[in-house]
Every structure is written in C-alpha cells, then in structure tokens.
Structure 1
C-alpha cells in the first residue's frame, strides 16, 4: 500500500523544539534530527524522509554508516568533517555549501563538526527496483 508524505504549505519551523537523537549516533553525541516530513517504511523499503540534522560544535560520531536507501545531504551552514576516527580525530573537512548524493549500500562517515553545522537531508527508496 503506497504511503504519502503530508501536504505541507509554507509554515514557520520551530528551530528550538522538536529535535531528537537520531538512530546510529552515540548517546550524548550532541547530534539531533528534526523530521520535516516522512512516510518512510524501512521494513518494507518504501517512502521517503526529509529532515534537518544538526551537530553542536565539537560533536562527532564514532562509526561509519550504511543504509539501504538513497541519501542526499546538503550542508546548509557550518563545517562537517568526514572520516574521523573513534576519537573524533582526522578526516576531510568540508564547509557550507557542500552536497553529497549516496546510493544504497555506500559506507560513509564517521562525522564531526568543529564549529557546529546544519544539514538538510532527503532519504528515499528507489521503488522502481521492486
């Protein structure tokens, strides 16, 4: 049964409330997500999700990620380092504006941000492959 994201016209976003810790990040990592719209079903591999992801200054993840869906990421503000180690050391730093598009199955990260950053992300399944 196809699902649909909600129809949302322009509306103000509360950039203070409604943030939560995303799956896959260590507790206390100072990384939070705000879901803007979603009908993603990771069990049945359908739908999509649009979210904001923010790192506080100095926040980092410790393990690489891989998903079974597409991921597009736009670095709106701040800096993001890709490929640091488990202690947050090393990697390649990128400054906004920067963009990435990853197909399913691609390992990426870990990530850190020295100054803090805001990412706009879209995750989706290629339903033509079903």
Structure 2
C-alpha cells in the first residue's frame, strides 16, 4: 500500500507542479490562447496566479512532509486541499458547460482523496 501511495503522490506532484508552474510563470493571455483554458478568460491575472501558487504548494505538500518526516500530517492535509481544488475546478467547468476537462478533474480528485485517506490512516 505504501508503494502505491508513493506512486500516486508522485503523479499528483508532477501534475500540479507542471500545471501550477505554468499558471505562475506564463501570462494569462498566453495560456488562454492555447484554447484549452477558457475559464481564464473570466479570471483576473491575480486569480490565475493564486490558483497556480495553491497548486504548487499542494504538489510540494503531498511529497515533502512525508518524505522528510517533518510534520508528516501535512501530506494528507495537502492531499485534502487538492481535493478542494478539484471540487472548485469541477464547479467552474460545470458552470461554464465545459465538459472536456471533467474526466481529468474527477481522476485528480479521486487520486488526491486516496492519498488523503491512505496517509491519514497510515
């Protein structure tokens, strides 16, 4: 079980570090131009950057505390935070009638929830 959780934690960290990193370093207009991030059209630059920072912190949180054994309770707390991020993403996409991102949002939500439950229990 521990190995499976580490694999899921690694996948979550990679996804959120990449997604959050792009939101932090790239201009919102450039991200909107890709065509796959339409929700950003109605979000301020600061809002997009804030989402990116939260995603980066979540990525670090699902790995570092458990790895370093410094405040390991923060790992399942970070995973629970990523569940909240995905609930917010689902809400935004459903409100905008954007169906394409929903499967990825649900998958990330389930993976984050499994880490939260698995690490709270262990």
Structure 2 length-normalised TM? 0.26
Structure 1 or 2: more helix by fraction: 2
Structure 1 length-normalised TM? 0.25
Structure 1 or 2: more strand by fraction: 1
